[in-house]
Amino acid sequence: MTEATQAVPVRAESPGQRIVAGLLRSVTRATVMTTFRAGRPVEQQRRRLGYLARLSLPPRGVSFTPGDLGGIPGEWVEVPGQSAARLGLLYLHGGGYCVGTPATHRTITGHLAARCAARVFAVDYRLAPEHPFPAALDDAAAAARAWLQGGLDARDLVIAGDSAGGGLTLALALTLRDSGLPLPRALVLFSPFVDLTLGHLPPPPSGEVMLTRPWLEECSRAYLAGRDPLDPLVSPIAADLRGLPPTLLQAGTDELLLGDSRRLFQGLQKAGVPARLEVYPRRWHVFQLNAGLLADADRALDAVARFVLETPVTP
């Protein structure tokens, strides 16, 4: 596997794709950014996001079944009729640790199940402010341990997440490593939120259509509940990253957290972790949620499948 950072080449878009991308950008700015607004009660944010999720387009032929893993609630995502999936993928959704559910991320989990021929479990972890750190990490760790103890070989496990779920994915891998448990085959991080100090955030790029600094500050305070933001399990960019599994990062040029993805990639390289960073021009935060409509989102998830399936399995 190549250890590299890659600015994904700009491809000539069809007129139809230019229209689709423009519409998606406008709709996301008008709906999601106004939902993720500092000062808006978290209950309202959750309701509004749930309504918006009903407009998403999960892939056809994929089932979404409520269930649990080790007593942790979530959603099983599978392709019915597919021969027994050997690969297990644990998915941790984004939402600033305060909003989001497995149902809000079905576009991503459904496409990953289909493309990776995997059985996906999306964890419905507890949210702040009602349940600050370490509740979300405890839930994710309990689900991972249950799957491994239930017979899934760690070499057949992938852990993935977006935004806050990307930070949680990294914190979970650190927890497994420090507990002496076997590590998954690979990690996949979509625009991970890995630095709750917010100390390196730039001014928002003009193309940002989802996140604002005030909202991230509000979510960080809720999740931290007074804890030191430099705790490596809160801000894993500050952790000792040695010994982690091969890691794929994807981000867009038009998002507030791009710099954190670059910093994390550099940290992984310095720690000797096989890592790859793919940066998609003109794309926004977690644009993979638009798979099935946006060609770049489909291309990004195809790249995830190649990465996951081609990663050498450690004996």
Catalytic status, residue 285: yes
Catalytic status, residue 131: no
State how far the Cα of 302 lies from the Cα of 71, in Å rounded to an integer: 32
State how far the Cα of 306 lies from the Cα of 115, in Å rounded to an integer: 9
82 by Cβ neighbours in 10 Å (0-12 / 13-18 / 19+) ranks as middle
The residue annotated as part of the active site, out of 75, 105, 131, 163, is 163
State how far the Cα of 115 lies from the Cα of 121, in Å rounded to an integer: 15
Q: Residue 267 corresponds to which amino acid?
A: G
Catalytic status, residue 163: yes
Establish whether the linkage from the previous residue to 132 is cis, with ω within 30° of 0.
no
State how far the Cα of 190 lies from the Cα of 250, in Å rounded to an integer: 5
Residues designated catalytic: 163, 255, 285
